[in-house]
Amino acid sequence: NNTDNNKAEIILNNKKSKKIKYTKDQVISKFYPNLSVLVLNSLQELIVNSDLYTQRLVMDFIISHFPIDNNILSEDEKISLMTSALKLLIKNEHSATRRLLIWLMGQNQDEDVEMGEPNIQYMLVLLVKSLKLILKNQRTKDDLLDDIKIIDHLLKQQVKFVDYILEPISIEIILVV
């Protein structure tokens, strides 16, 4: 057995009793062609779970396995995940909010974070796109109030976001109000 996970051979028997050798990546792509969609949907469902303990655990998992600057998820998938995670702000629960900010800021949520750092700038781009998506998807007055709560709680938690977020989403805010 080869210790390299990507080159490890997996032998599967087909219907004619022939052994076929696949690498781990080939097995994943053959039998789980939509794996990233499955993972993303699972994470989103766990985030919106009403159980606070589950939300904390999934945010811890996202922090450790899917940092904002990861190469695992596409940009659209990151925006989708971020859109779901931002909805945690509606409840204004301290531990979920703290975990969300840790994920957004990349463990650096202290006051000395340089907003010009490339990873922070990338996060801000995703954050603006996520907030725009949230504002476009509101359907009722309650949805609008929830959207405003998200923005309000986010800007109260990270005042330094105001200069980078409020102007780019102002048109969407005006259009929905």
Predicted local confidence at residue 9, as pLDDT: 53
* Partners of residue 20 on adjacent β-strands: 12
Predicted local confidence at residue 6, as pLDDT: 47
The Cα-based distances of 9 to 1, 16, 33, 177 in angstroms read 8, 20, 19, 57
Predicted local confidence at residue 172, as pLDDT: 84
Predicted local confidence at residue 37, as pLDDT: 83
Cα angle 105, 162, 136 (rounded to 5 degrees) comes to 90
The distance from CA 9 to its chain's CA centroid, rounded to whole angstroms, is 32
Predicted local confidence at residue 137, as pLDDT: 83
CB distance 40 to 77 below 8 Å: yes
The distance from CA 159 to its chain's CA centroid, rounded to whole angstroms, is 21
DSSP state letters, 130-168: HHHHHHHT--SHHHHHHHHHHHHHHHHH-GGGHHHHHHH
Going residue by residue through the chain (177 aa), what tens digit of pLDDT does each one get? 444 444 455 555 555 556 667 776 666 666 666 777 888 999 999 998 878 999 999 999 999 999 998 888 899 999 999 999 999 999 888 999 999 999 998 865 555 778 888 888 999 999 999 999 999 887 788 888 899 999 999 999 888 889 999 899 988 888 877
Predicted local confidence at residue 11, as pLDDT: 53
